[in-house]
Amino acid sequence: MKCTLMHKRLEVADMELDEITGFIIKILNVYQPEHLPLGVAYKKGIADRAALNEWWADRSIPASRSGVRDALEYLGISNTKSLLVRCFGLSLSDQYWIRPIGSDLLWENVNFFENDFSEDIGDVLFGHANKAEDFDFSSPDNTSDGCLKKRWKIIDGKRCLIKGGSGLEKQQTFNEVIATKIMHLLGIPHVPYSLIWDGGEPYSVCEDFVDPETELVPAWRIMQTQKKDNNVSVYRHFVNCCEALGAGNMTSALDKMIVLDYIIANEDRHLNNFGLLRNAETLEWLGFAPIYDSGSSFGYDKRVVQIRRQSDIVCKPFKKTHSDQIKLVSDFSWIDFERLRDVPEMIYGYLTSEYVSEFIEDSRALAISETVRKRIEVLREIANCHIKTEDTAEGDVEKNVAEDYTK
Ligand SMILES: Nc1ncnc2c1ncn2[C@@H]1O[C@H](COP(=O)(O)OP(=O)(O)O)[C@@H](O)[C@H]1O
Ligand SMILES: [Mg+2]
């Protein structure tokens, strides 16, 4: 299939796609190299096809997504990449799409920000499939990332991402709400999450923070814009790439993210779980994206004794431990510790509230609340005797991998 890679209304490149594997076999012409997905190199009139394929594959639902095998079996499709073509690769997180050559499709008529989309794929992903005929694939669910069961829905005219949790506790859903409250108290720009129930199961829900003018560029893509020297830390590399792109100094935004992740003991802030926003037409950088996906925290997959022990907490994206990562923070003066005083009680109250307590046992709620109290105390001590030192690559995270709940 020959198609044009589009960036909103702009024609970026013509390419040839294998419809069965979803692989980009050939890049035919490049019209707007600066609009190629960030990090796809363009040299001497040639775009890096391997890099474009990597970007395109990353756009599909990951094979590790909860429930995806059953969904593919139901649809009679072998891999999630072939789903991309059926929704023109459209997403609700950026403005890229593909237009078959010879078609006169217009952005105005196809984008999901302003046009309704089908719930069929979302139903299949949620195990509610009941449609044998007229199956409509046009949905941003074909291009959503992440391992947790999720779907986009239009609620009261707003595009909302509905996301489940893993295991028996489904703790990620409650964690998103708690992280929202903490970020609100600390004045950290964030995506607010609330809780909804469906069939007796909890789901977190948040609004789309991207709109028809803007798009999310994940940190992973930003890191691809320059070669990283081995002696440069992951943190420094990210900051350098942002500056070289003209996006500005991200130190203060990173301080906020690192402090949040320290408090909540986040274990999955990989390089696709934060990023920058830019204007999709002018490519102007708009700053650090509001913090999203903070659910894999508070010992979400651990037993109560492990939560209390606090010894095997994974840390990403910069350092392997939170105690090393917190050293990257330049400035703690913005933290109003007074506002954090009641956070442990707030957490315990929320996790033991009606309905939530059916998933989270009292001993777990207590362990989470008490460990957060300790983490905040240690954070206060760190902030009080803080002296900033230059970062080295020692203790860096070596690979960018998302948590896989199927393991
Ligand atoms: N509110 C949102 N608006 C736009 N895009 C979003 C929003 N929340 C998440 N995304 C995009 O969807 C992806 C998957 O969502 P995420 O919350 O990270 O799920 P998971 O917990 O399964 O990793 C993110 O990496 C991001 O690209
Ligand atoms: Mg994620």
Contact 248, 254 (CB under 8 A): no
Distance CA 314, CA 330 (A): 22
Query: Residues whose CB is under 5 A from ligand 2 (ion)?
Result: 146, 273, 293
Q: Ligand 2 mean position to 133 CA, how many Å?
A: 33
User: Would you list the DSSP string of 86-120?
Assistant: HTTT--SSS-EEEEETT----HHHH-TTTS---SH
For residue 252, how many other CB atoms are within 10 A of its CB?
Answer: 13
The whole-number pLDDT of residue 386 equals 81
Q: 162 CB less than 6 Å from ligand 1?
A: no
For residue 365, how many other CB atoms are within 10 A of its CB?
Answer: 21
Q: 273 CB less than 6 Å from ligand 1?
A: yes
| Tens of each residue's pLDDT in the chain, 407 residues | 999 999 999 999 999 999 888 899 999 999 999 999 999 999 999 999 999 999 999 999 998 898 888 888 888 888 898 899 889 999 999 999 999 999 999 999 999 999 999 999 999 999 887 776 788 999 999 999 999 999 999 999 999 999 999 999 999 999 999 999 999 999 999 999 999 999 999 999 999 999 999 999 999 999 999 999 999 999 999 999 999 999 999 999 999 999 999 999 999 999 999 999 999 999 999 999 999 999 999 999 999 999 999 989 999 999 999 999 999 999 999 999 999 999 999 999 999 999 999 999 999 999 999 999 999 999 999 999 987 777 888 889 988 778 776 55
Distance CA 149, CA 210 (A): 20
Q: 146 CB less than 6 Å from ligand 1?
A: yes
Q: Ligand 1 mean position to 215 CA, how many Å?
A: 12
Going 302 to 303 to 304 to 306, the CA torsion angle's sign is negative
- The pair of structure tokens assigned to 105 is 């499709």
Contact 271, 220 (CB under 8 A): yes
User: Would you list the DSSP string of 289-318?
Assistant: PPB----S-TTTTS-HHHHHH--S----SS
For the CA of 125, the nearest ligand? 1
For the CA of 272, the nearest ligand? 1
For residue 214, how many other CB atoms are within 10 A of its CB?
Answer: 20
Contacts of 301 (CB under 8 A, 6+ apart): 166, 167, 171, 405
Q: 193 CB less than 6 Å from ligand 1?
A: no
Nearest to 176 by CA among 313, 302, 290, 293: 293
Q: 293 CB less than 6 Å from ligand 1?
A: yes
Q: For 214-384, give the CATH class.
A: mainly alpha
What is the location of CATH 1.10.1070.20 in the chain? Answer: 214-384
Contact 33, 48 (CB under 8 A): no
Q: 94 CB less than 6 Å from ligand 1?
A: no
Distance CA 179, CA 343 (A): 10
Paired residues of 279 in beta bridges: 214
Contacts of 5 (CB under 8 A, 6+ apart): 11, 12, 13, 14, 15, 36, 96, 98
